[in-house]
Amino acid sequence: MIENQSDNIDNKESDISDLDNAPEDNSPLEDQIVENDESSSQKTGEINTEELKNTISNNDARLEQLEKEHETLKNQYVRISADFDNFRKRQSRDQDDLKIQLVSKSLTAILPIVDNFERARQQLKPESEEAQALHRSYQGLYKQLVEVLKQQGVAPMRVVGQQFDPNLHEAVLREPSEELKEDFIIEELQRGYHLEGKVLRHALVKVSMGPGKQNSQEEVEKDTVEVDIDSEESTSEDV
């Protein structure tokens, strides 16, 4: 019995020694696992690289689209800003024109009063002290009225001796003049006025036709020449 147990122990020891001396067969499996890990990591890297490229490409496309949208919005802003600036200038100009029209209408209604003051000044010849006092009062009112018109931008025209301009003057009479050439203003019949450089009222004027005697002398000389030509023609016919 004891021998059998010793034999079993020897057998077990021999089996253990055989296991210790047996060659390792796990190397191919480990290599395969390493290769699988490397291939999987390589595939993962390739996938990550492809995704990165796609992401960069998408970002570039998106950036280009945003730049185009930015340029479009910028152009729209510039156009709207220019339109608004033009609208603001046009609105300001229209308001100025409307203001000038209203002021012109009011001042045009006052101008006949100024004309009456000027006619009275030319006709009045105060002799007594009472008349002189009245005349001084009248002159004060006239100066005050003229000052108000001047503050509003009204300026009188100076037309005598100037060349006739239909944009500024209105010719009422035309007569010969020895002093002024043709189309020059001889006399101012009603004063014209400017308002801020524009015509508030045209001046009524008398315009020169040129020297009258010279014109009549030229007509006489012309008639004499025509008579001489007629006499020469009749003489030639008689011959």
Judge whether 35 lies within some domain: no
Counted domains in the chain = 2
Cβ atoms < 10 Å from Cβ of 203: 24
| Residue that wins the pLDDT comparison between 199 and 131 | 199
Amino acid at position 140, single letter = G
pLDDT digits (tens, 9 = 90+) for 127-145: 777 778 877 888 888 888 8
Same domain, 175 and 203: yes
160: left (phi over 0), alpha (psi -120 to 50) or beta: beta
Q: Compute the mean pLDDT over every residue in the chain, rounded to the nearest whole number.
A: 76
Domain housing 145: 108-152
pLDDT digits (tens, 9 = 90+) for 38-53: 666 666 666 678 778 8
Q: Residue 11 pLDDT more than 70? A: no
3-state secondary structure 83-130: HHHHHHHHHHHHHHHHHHHHHHHHHHHHHHHHHHHHHHHHHCCCCCHH
Interval 184-192 mean pLDDT: 92
User: In percent, how much of the chain has pLDDT > 70?
Assistant: 69
Instruction: Return phi, psi of residue 170, to 5°.
Output: -125, 115
pLDDT band at 75 (very low <50, low <70, confident <90, very high): very high
**Among 60-69, 202-211, 223-232, which is the least confidently predicted range?**
223-232
Same domain, 190 and 145: no
Of 177, 170, 163, 161, the residue nearest 191 (C-alpha) = 170
Instruction: Give the CATH number of the domain where residue 220 resides.
Output: 2.30.22.10
Task: For the chain, report the end-to-end CA distance as a whole number of angstroms.
Answer: 200
Interval 63-79 mean pLDDT: 90
